[in-house]
A and B are shown apart, each in its own frame.
Chain A
């Protein structure tokens, strides 16, 4: 890694260091923003001392980033349309990366400082959508063309449904625990200084650390996605493709490209028909260097095969050619995605989804040092966050109570829900999942519906998402003028 950085000029190095610094700060802020969620229950119930809980939570967040894979990271990256992603090595691409980073961090830190409800996920996604829309407007395209709406719908659905799942399952689990656990003390808020009974204490500790692990795996991946955007944009020759892709996977990519060549060749008529019917949009003349088009899919797939036939590893591909190879892969993948969505379903016997995953493999990766840096930023942020909790004496602090069983139910459900989202490659708001879980247990316990939780979740949708979009779009217009 250091050899790579020592070979770049001072200007690029400065740009790289500043960008990486901002991305890691975003992750650090995310860590201390969410500390309270991860450790509040275990410390409040005296299951662990504050120091032990915070250190263990930081460590679990650290390891969670490595355990989460990279599917969530690239779900975030692919919210941007492929045309913008393949232009990321230009000044426009850098303006995009800086706008995303600065708007996300400003909003995240600002809401934390002012004590306003916010979600890091909604902030980041709002910034990405804002930049995408602004780029489309700048290019003279309809605003809607600036976002990969298919992916945005998937991500939006996951952000919307996950708190509902948290609410219902945590409430249901509490009802089950109320039937199974007859000790009344488990269903009351903690009294005195004694820790909970051993079984419940173990459940609270394990589920609390599980929430931290899940938080690291989901929220950490958002930082990994941002860092990869930066690296690919600033050092495309080095990071455009995974140089460690095994030979067998390279062969699989060639095969996938060959099958796509046959597929697109065989569907020329259907493609032209879809263009005429308006099922595939004609690409208007654009100002950016590259644009992907379904009509160019055969050329892209043939170019991939030709390049990979010449080299037996990605490392052997000259750095100057790696960017073109990446562009061809992403353009072909996008064309295949469009074909998948055609109304007549003309995909035949081909498993397009599986072939697309194979094709994208060399482009969707993260070097170990990136995972390590993001893990450290998130882990340290979590540990620092506890020190930064500001106590505000008032009505709320006096009325807030939680029983052992409520805490355990909410944490177990949050841990499982976020873990499942990781498996499906979907970003979720860890804060919303956990808080709605607590609200679900309160509703099941007949302590009333937590309007404060509902208000916070609603605020993220009606306030944070549009605000981050506007901030991202505004900064993109500003930075793209300066670029």
Chain B
């Protein structure tokens, strides 16, 4: 359920500005470990794929 886990993690972050501030600038592996500690399980590659999709859609 990795992509769903990413969605839920993002919703959880966006619900509280302090949570968002905490992860700002965090390296990807730390971010994934931080998410796992909160119960949102996904891999570095899955998160990168989601970012790559943003680049693809945006044409950047």
State in angstroms the CA–CA spacing of A456 and B59 once bound together: 6
Asked if B58 and A453 make an inter-chain contact with CB atoms under 8 angstroms apart, the answer reads yes
Set of chain B residues within 8 Å of A176, measured between Cβ atoms: none
**Residues from chain B with Cβ under 8 Å of A15 in the complex:** none
Known: A393-B31, A435-B58. A400 touches B53 (CB 8 A): yes
- Given A192-B1, A398-B7, A398-B11, A389 and B58 touching (CB < 8 A)? no
Interface residue from B1, B14, B31 paired with A391 (Cβ < 8 Å): B31
Residues of A near B13 (CB, < 8 A) are 393
Known: A50-B45, A190-B3. A397 touches B51 (CB 8 A): yes
Pairwise interchain contact A436-B59, C-beta atoms closer than 8 A? yes
Is the Cβ of B59 less than 8 Å from the Cβ of A432?
Answer: yes
Residues in chain A near residue B4, CB distance under 8 A:
191-192
Closest chain-A Cβ to B10's Cβ sits at a distance in Å of 4
CB of A452 within 8 A of CB of B23, answer no
Give every chain B residue within 8 A of A452 (Cβ-Cβ): 57-59
Which residues of chain B are within 8 angstroms of A400 by Cβ–Cβ distance?
50, 53-54, 57
Contact of A393 among B7, B23, B49, B52 (CB under 8 A): B23
Report how far A402 CA is from B45 CA in the complex, Å.
Answer: 17
In contact, B57 and A391 (Cβ under 8 angstroms)? no
Are B50 and A118 closer than 8 Å at their CB atoms? no
B49 neighbours in A (Cβ, 8 Å): 40, 43-44, 50
Q: Say yes or no for B36: interface residue by CB 8 A criterion.
A: no
In the assembled complex, B47 has its CB within 8 A of some CB on chain A = yes
Return chain B residues, CB-CB under 8 Å to A438.
56-57
Using Cβ atoms and an 8 Å threshold, which residues of chain B touch A386? 48, 52
Partner of A49 from the list B2, B11, B45, B51 (CB cut-off 8 Å) is B45
**A contact residues around B39 at 8 Å (CB):** none
Given contacts A43-B45, A393-B23, A398-B14, contact A453 B59 (CB under 8 A): yes
A190 to B5, CA, bound (A): 12
- Nearest A residue to B13 via CB reads A393
Are A396 and B59 in contact (CB-based, < 8 A)? no
Q: A41: which B residues are within 8 A, CB to CB? A: 53, 56
Most buried by A among B52, B58, B59: B59
* A439 cross-chain contacts in B, Cβ below 8 A: 57
B50 touches A44 (CB 8 A): yes
Contacts known (A36-B52, A44-B53); A391 close to B47, Cβ less than 8 A: yes
Give, as a whole number of angstroms, the nearest-CB distance from B45 to chain A.
4
Q: Which residues of A have CB within 8 Å of B3? A: 44, 189-191
With beta carbons under 8 angstroms apart, the residue of B6, B23, B24, B60 that contacts A456 is: B60
Within 8 A of B (CB), among A417-455: 431-432, 434-436, 438-439, 442, 450, 452-453
B8-36 CB mask vs A (1 if < 8 Å, else 0) is 00110110000010011000100100000
Residues of A near B48 (CB, < 8 A) are: 43, 50, 386, 389, 391
Cβ–Cβ contact B50 & A393, under 8 A: no
- B38 vs chain A, min Cβ distance (A): 14
Looking across the interface, which residue of chain A has its beta carbon closest to that of B45? Answer: A50
Contact of B58 among A193, A390, A393, A456 (CB under 8 A): A456
**7 closest residue pairs by CB, A with B:** A435-B59, A456-B59, A40-B52, A36-B52, A50-B45, A36-B55, A398-B10
A interface with B by C-beta (< 8 Å): 35-37, 39-41, 43-44, 49-50, 115-118, 189-193, 386, 389-393, 396-398, 400, 402, 431-432, 434-436, 438-439, 442, 450, 452-453, 456-457
25 A-B pairs within 8 Å (CB atoms) are namely A35-B52, A40-B53, A44-B50, A50-B49, A117-B59, A386-B48, A389-B52, A390-B28, A391-B31, A391-B47, A391-B50, A393-B24, A396-B54, A397-B50, A397-B54, A398-B11, A400-B57, A402-B53, A431-B60, A432-B59, A435-B59, A436-B59, A439-B57, A452-B58, A456-B59
Given A44-B53, A391-B50; 19 other pairs, CB 8 A cutoff: A37-B55, A41-B56, A43-B49, A44-B52, A49-B45, A116-B60, A118-B60, A189-B3, A192-B1, A192-B2, A390-B28, A391-B28, A391-B51, A392-B54, A393-B10, A398-B11, A442-B57, A450-B57, A456-B58
